[in-house]
Structure 1
Amino acid sequence: MESNNIPFAKSDRYQENDRKELDESVKAKKERNKRKWKQLQEEHPRLIEAYPKFASSLKNGFSEDDSFEANATIQDIKEYERLMNIQLPQDVANFLLTVSRISLEGIQIALGDVYMLDLLGKRYGVLGEFWKEADGDLILFDGSGSNTATTFYYYAHEENKVKPLAKSPEELMEKVFTRYLRSL
């Protein structure tokens, strides 16, 4: 309009509306996070007690689709092992008692989705998905039946390589997943 010498009055109405919408969106997200955090505290105190750094990393980053379950029993795990003809390492079984299902952006774990996989000449248990390098990378554990402390790996499918991830369920949750969630 200036270049055509047409008179007009400048307005910052659009910027004000954008700022107002952004402020409302931020406020709504904070309220949603507070509700989700309170719900997590009420429904999953074992998760917060076992993995406080992980739980803390969730405080400000909940999405509508995030969910947790900690309702598996020892009988559930034994029955799943029997049905799938697998033997979970004890620390993995204990982990699944505390966290029977996690569904977060880039992290998917569920007791009912654990399976065995022969990969690159070795037997692994697949705990779930972790998008460490790419969508669809798998969280693995030693599937040989050894009952020693479990080391976790991930299968970087784009490279067709298995790489170390964590030396225990605690390290997986408290360091690896916590760091990942804070980077989102």
Structure 2
Amino acid sequence: MEETRHGGRGIREQLLLAGIDDINQNGIQNFSVRRVANACGVSCAAPYKHFEDKPAFLAAIVDYIDSLWKERKEKVLKKYPTGSRRQLAEVSLEYVRFLVENPHFRSIIMGKDDEFDLRRGRSRGQVSNLTQGLIQDYCRSTGMSEQTRRLKTYVVRSLIYGAALMFDNGELDYNDENMALVAYAIEREFDLA
């Protein structure tokens, strides 16, 4: 019964989505379980039936975002050969799409809060670790030095985050033509010595 009352989503997912909204509006430091419960129309005790405490709730939000990204990246990984430049570029582009299409996730993925970072450090990095790993693996397979691998990782991740921000703030139209430019820039980076 509770499932249908919340638009077909279970109360746990509703709490997670309301938690994401609360972080976007108030920041991680001011995250309020009470506000989230109110936003979902449930008692203040209801979130604690799903999450042990506030840090567990925050960790569940990160895990939720990670699971959504994992679904998308798995589709891309299956479509392109392992260890290929094409796979690296396509996963990077899908990450740009994920960030652009879910701007409300960015404050969590990219946010900085020392206390929360200690608790969520492992899971927070999962979303962006895939691209870093693919870059490192590709560079190793082509015999690039450690310094070059670090540089390529920095440049490609900068392209991903920069493109997402530019699409979001309107500096670039979010369309196929501009996504092709991002793809070209990523591919070109691996043509450079």
Q: Calculate the TM-score normalised by the size of structure 2.
A: 0.22
Higher fraction of strand: 1
> Relative contact order, CA 8 A, sep 6+: which one is greater?
2
Higher fraction of helix: 2
Give the greater-gyration-radius structure (CA). Answer: 1
Q: Calculate the TM-score normalised by the size of structure 1.
A: 0.23
